[in-house]
A and B are shown apart, each in its own frame.
Chain A
Amino acid sequence: MASRTLEIEKMSVEQLKALKEQADLEVNLLQDSLNNIRTATTRLEIASNALQDLSLRPQGKKMLVPLTASLYVPGTLDDADKVLVDVGTGYFVEKTMTEGKDYCERKISLLKSNYEQLLDVATKKKSIADETGVILQAKLRQLAPAQ
């Protein structure tokens, strides 16, 4: 950490500017990734809740099935124990209710661990960006009276 600060301090204003730009870009990218993970987690949580909800309904239960956002048709619940899970790249797998719930939980925990790892990287990057910004400001201030 200390050696890095030293290295940064040795840089010219131009290099610092480039570094700052670069670091900011990376921070933004990581922030976007974090947001994506968060939305994905929310989606999975919604799916998990829906499964939980579905598993509580008895067979033959009457319900309205949404065909579009505003059009519902009546239907009866046939078999709540078999669910189709979208595993990605166009593949769907038939699972039982418990397996389906398990799938959601697994994905959520995977995403959570990824999120934490990424958060770590993002915080480090952010500190580098901030550090560079501070040093750059200091350099510029140093240069200003000389001009």
Chain B
Amino acid sequence: MASSAGLRELQRDLENKANDLSKLQKDISKNHQIRKKYTIQLGENELVLKELDLLNEDANVYKLIGPVLVKQDMAEANANVKKRIEYISAELKRLDSTLQDLEDKQNNKKETSQKVDVKGILGPKDSEAATKDSVSPSRKRQGLMRLRD
């Protein structure tokens, strides 16, 4: 009787850990989505900056505000795009550090849950999740292509 109570305790413990783990995974994938968005924006902004650099000083630059085109100063446009690139880069760096954090936490959690796993309560389900995750970072690291023209 005492052992079955212990078993239940262990199971609950494991369940909690699994929940935590899946929450972390959700956070990580959310992080990836945001990062993807920012990377695309960064690429687009860099293209714009390159294009602006190619122009003469006296070229006419317009900015689309709502449905109207507003004429803008060359220098202003340049500064604007540069600032945006700076901001996005900073944001990406921030996302990187949070991602690192989350991945560390995830690995910790995995280790602890695997320790419980060793005791032979829960087998295939957990180990499957572990192998899946060990493959995924390579996909995440793979750079995003710039698709915008």
Q: Size of chain A's interface in residues, with CB distance under 8 A?
A: 29
B131–chain A nearest beta-carbon distance, Å: 5
Count contacts between A and B, CB distance < 8 Å.
82
What band does the interface of chain B fall in when counting residues whose beta carbon is under 8 Å from A? 20 to 34
Contact mask for chain B residues 121-146; partner A; CB cutoff 8 A; 1 contact, 0 none: 00010011001100110010010011
CB contacts (< 8 Å) of A40 on chain B: these are 147-149
How many angstroms between the C-alpha atoms of A111 and B145 in the bound complex?
Answer: 11
Q: Report A72-97 residues with CB < 8 Å from chain B CB.
A: 84, 87-95
Cβ B145 vs Cβ A33 within 8 A? yes
Contact of A90 among B55, B63, B127, B145 (CB under 8 A): B63
Contact of B77 among A18, A91, A95, A103 (CB under 8 A): A91
Cβ B69 vs Cβ A84 within 8 A? yes
Contact of B64 among A91, A107, A111 (CB under 8 A): A91
Contact of B62 among A18, A84, A107 (CB under 8 A): A84
Contact of A88 among B47, B124, B139, B145 (CB under 8 A): B47
In the complex, the chain A residue whose C-beta lies closest to that of B138 is: A22
CB contacts (< 8 Å) of B139 on chain A: these are 22, 25-26
B51 within 8 A of A: yes
Cβ A92 vs Cβ B63 within 8 A? yes
CB contacts (< 8 Å) of B149 on chain A: these are 40, 43-44, 88, 107, 111
A35–chain B nearest beta-carbon distance, Å: 10
How many angstroms between the C-alpha atoms of A88 and B146 in the bound complex?
Answer: 13
Contact mask for chain B residues 39-59; partner A; CB cutoff 8 A; 1 contact, 0 none: 001001101100110010001
What are 29 A-B contacts with C-beta separation under 8 Å?
A14-B128, A15-B131, A18-B132, A18-B135, A19-B135, A22-B135, A26-B142, A33-B147, A36-B147, A37-B145, A37-B147, A87-B51, A88-B44, A88-B47, A88-B48, A88-B51, A89-B44, A89-B48, A91-B48, A91-B52, A92-B61, A92-B64, A92-B69, A93-B52, A93-B60, A93-B61, A94-B59, A94-B60, A103-B51
Task: List B residues at the A interface (Cβ < 8 Å).
Answer: 41, 44-45, 47-48, 51-52, 55, 59-65, 69, 72, 77, 81, 84, 124, 127-128, 131-132, 135-136, 139, 142, 145-149
